[in-house]
Structure 1
Amino acid sequence: MFFVLSKLLFYIFMPISLITITLVWGIVTKSLKLKKPLLLTSLGIILILGNSTLVNWGYHLWETPPPASPFAQRYDVGIIISGGMMMNRTSTKEQIFTGKTADRFIQPLRMYKRGLLKKIIISGGDVSINPLSNEHDSETAKTQQILIELGVKPEDILLETKARNTRENALNCAQILRSFPELKTSVLFTSAFHGRRAIGCFRKAGLNTTLFSCAVRAVDIGYTPDTLIIPSEQALAEAYQLIHEIIGFCVYKAMGYC
């Protein structure tokens, strides 16, 4: 129930959902006291959450920084949290379409190739509320496939395919590592915007892991009219991801998950 309700909550707070709700409500309402505030709210959401500079500042404030010296230490195991690493589409065995967060497996691959990781855990199951979804087939399995193709030994990869959220990622990985007592030190790979929630969950699960933030979204943006004034659909999408994560972190904190 928590999983389904959290998904629905995030859909409601999507910028496009908020814009649609306030705009339609403002158009159809017969109350003159509500009409103007609702229409102005809709416009305000577009101007604020569609502002590339403001959204980028938000990421600069929220994201956990990547390690300054990523190859300074060896670890027994690297834990990859799945989500967006592969395109969510049907593909054959020979087809691999990487997504926006492919950096989550690229960084551990780099460390493995340098001899800084002994094992790699890929954690993530079906996160869709659609019962017919097979999203995990195009995520953990495809990630395993590409890692093997790029030189990781199959016996050095462990799969966790049941987790539907970050808390389950942490609990299930902790359970796996209890079966491998020789794997004492770990490093956690996830997107920089997700780092706060992820490291909190894993430490709550009893894993004293090190966070490796990757897939950084904050950029050095130029102060030009197109970023300062003109709303952008890309900024709205980025704003949704940021809002999604902040809400998720707050909910997890309230539930005691991180």
Structure 2
Amino acid sequence: MIKKNYYTISRVISLLLFFPNLLLAEDFLLYDATVGQLPSEQPWLTYFTDGTAEQQVMTDGVWLQTSFTNRAGYSNYNVVTQALKNALYPSLDKGRGVVLQFGLQLSSENHDTADRAGFSVILLDSNHQGVELGFWANEIWAQTDNPLFTHGESVDFVTTGGMKSYLLCLTTDNYVLYEGNKQILTGPIRDYSSFSGYPDPYEIPSFLFLGDNTTSAGAEIVLGSVLLQSDTQLNLAFPWSLFLPSFTAGIQQGNGSTR
């Protein structure tokens, strides 16, 4: 659960006055970047690599470096055996609202095709519907599902230059991505379950991945704290981004670090 000092009392009261359904939401601190551990040393996330990727604990998260010859990242499942790491991980329902917060510093990224990224976030609900977002140094974009895994809607956005706080929301029909309290990208919910390959996580219910899932790209990143909220029941038509500073206070991370 979120530590009490992540929020001020006044901010919580302000948020709940406008969104009383948040009382029903469940909070899961999937990775606490402040305690000097790797994500896999905490209860919620596993570490996957099929090569010689490097990871190291930093003062504000975990440093991860991948290349074209390997894939690596963090997931709530073992992506090979498809075993859930923690049985208490919630079943996600996009119709009831899903919110993923994460801190990310992207130091460098390279790719050899316009349809791949060195760092990606995959967030799927219990019916394996959601979105996969790719992060480049100057752009964030979505993978399409028809045709499968091609460059979809995007936003020109500088992802380098220090730790940034992102918030990814799933609703019945759409996803919305915020950086800080600013909406930067939105698009339709996707279903990637027609994919056939190894490993194949796209039919796993309530699947989460943060990292490099391709041998066509590589990146150097620092991943900050990761927080999941399920059953938020937020109506994204309302300008609730006005209250995001209270909602995202738990993962703000200093100025970042480089290696």
**Given the two structures, how large is their TM-score scaled by the length of structure 1?**
0.28
Bigger relative contact order (CA 8 A; separation at least 6):
2
Larger radius of gyration: 1
| Structure having the larger proportion of residues in helix | 1
